[in-house]
Amino acid sequence: MFRDHFLNDLTIHADAPMARRMFDDLDEVRSDLARRLTRAAKDRRSPMHVPAVVTSDVDARTMVLRAFDPKAWTLRFHTDTRAPKVDAVKADPRMAVLFYDKSAKIQIRVRGTGEVLEQDALTDTAWSNSTNFARRCYLGDGPGAVSDAPTSGLPERFEGVEPTDDEVAPGRPNFAVLRITLEELDWFYLAHTGHVRAQFERSGDQWEGRWVSP
């Protein structure tokens, strides 16, 4: 049923068998995965730039992927210390992230352990590399704060206005990095000749790969 549904939806691409042959090696698939995550972090036009980030409290939300470290296999996101997801990660750090690139027909699912970093060098650097326009988001009410009327949560004077360095400084304690250390990878390529799927499990610095039925 699942398979038929996908096959019906698929555009038939003449180059699919070629692409499939490119991915007949697990090391090549893992390199492809690393390349895609690297691009996802750097290129805001990448369809994988805004994945769904899943916490252990069975909740998911869209977040901007800020960085991928292909040596440590970590993902970096930015968030507000007051966001409910921060409490969820602290209570149980198991996490998943879902990426899909429709034109490449590739889905990437990853699982790992999340950490919320608030007062450390990495978070300081992430804060200093942000624009004041982006930092402004940390000046208002925390995500999920209830309001009597539709609200941006921002102080009115900063709506659509870039604050100065001094004005934005009080937002710093609300800013955090969410870092996820990946432990499991799942790569899925949709092809009309037959989908291809590979999984990888981490053991220390090594990744153990295997092919699985889609």
Ligand X SMILES: Cc1cc2nc3c(=O)[nH]c(=O)nc-3n(C[C@H](O)[C@H](O)[C@H](O)COP(=O)(O)O)c2cc1C
**Residues making contact with ligand X (CB under 6 A):** 50, 59, 61-64, 77-80, 83-85, 143-144
Nearer to ligand X, 38 or 81 (CB): 81
To the nearest whole angstrom, how small is the minimum distance from the Cβ of residue 104 to ligand X?
A: 20
Would you call 73 helix, strand, or coil by DSSP? Answer: coil
To the nearest whole angstrom, how small is the minimum distance from the Cβ of residue 98 to ligand X?
A: 13
Nearer to ligand X, 143 or 155 (CB): 143
To the nearest whole angstrom, how small is the minimum distance from the Cβ of residue 58 to ligand X?
A: 11
Q: Which amino acid is at 167?
A: E
DSSP per-residue string spanning 140-179? SPPTT---SS----S-GGGTT-PPPHHHHGGGGGGEEEEE
Nearer to ligand X, 176 or 196 (CB): 176
Are 101 and 47 in contact by the 8 Å Cβ rule? The answer is yes
Nearer to ligand X, 68 or 207 (CB): 68
Beta strands (DSSP E) in the chain are: 52-55, 59-62, 67-69, 74-80, 94-101, 106-117, 175-189, 196-203, 206-212
Gap between the Cα atoms of 33 and 196, Å rounded: 14
Nearer to ligand X, 62 or 119 (CB): 62
To the nearest whole angstrom, how small is the minimum distance from the Cβ of residue 185 to ligand X?
A: 22
Gap between the Cα atoms of 137 and 154, Å rounded: 7
To the nearest whole angstrom, how small is the minimum distance from the Cβ of residue 115 to ligand X?
A: 15
